[in-house]
Chain A
Amino acid sequence: DTGVSQDPRHKITKRGQNVTFRCDPISEHNRLYWYRQTLGQGPEFLTYFQNEAQLEKSRLLSDRFSAERPKGSFSTLEIQRTEQGDSAMYLCASSPLPGPTSNTGELFFGEGSRLTVL
């Protein structure tokens, strides 16, 4: 399967611990996105990369959150000093660069990493 993969699928941690999620995008996709989804809400944008460059960060992304995409392939999202309010599903998506022959804005999502902070 060559879709977007995320790891781990589930993470339970105690408040104050650090957690890291990994995302492997579709291999030929230049853009990679992180979203957060809480129960009963739609996905909320956190940040996105074009190749290795982080081009935008949401104000939702506090200084405890950091994302990297060091070689323009996989990405990690780290949350330091987790709080109960960080409990959510963290979604990764990828897309090709827009162009005349590529999909117009469609994002391809992974199945998400569910974080529970006790």
Chain B
Amino acid sequence: GNSVTQMEGPVTLSEEAFLTINCTYTATGYPSLFWYVQYPGEGLQLLLKATKADDKGSNKGFEATYRKETTSFHLEKGSVQVSDSAVYFCALRDTGANSKLTFGKGITLSVRP
């Protein structure tokens, strides 16, 4: 079945540091890929997405590129802020009629001033 694997956390960085959060997936066909973010006390919200190979999703300074050859969708940001402290989830959407998302375990990011 489909699965998403995220790097182990938590991650603690200083403000303005470079961020990479790794995500790899296993799926048949050509899934769509997503990063969701959960800020403290809030619900999950979409951060960015990519629907086909080599697509780059971007939002709020975050980027991720859909790499089919390495089945990866790593999240990057050049300069993190304290306000980026949150839990980040990588997810994939099945191809076909069923549109459910399969999530990774999530990783907690803490950014120190």
Contacts and interface: CB of A to CB of B under 8 A. Distances in A.
Nearest to A44: B103
A48 B100 contact: yes
Given A43-B44, A43-B89, A105 B32 contact: yes
Q: What bracket does the count of chain B residues touching chain A fall in? A: 20 to 34
A45 B101 contact: yes
B99 interface: yes
Contacts of B36: 109
A65 to B, nearest CB: 16
Interface of A: 4, 31, 33, 40-45, 48, 55-56, 91, 93, 95, 98, 104-112
Interface secondary structure of B, over-half rule: strand
26 contacts: A4-B43, A41-B106, A42-B4, A42-B89, A42-B103, A42-B104, A43-B44, A43-B103, A45-B100, A45-B101, A45-B102, A48-B98, A48-B99, A48-B100, A56-B98, A56-B100, A104-B93, A105-B32, A105-B49, A105-B101, A106-B46, A107-B46, A109-B45, A111-B42, A111-B43, A112-B43
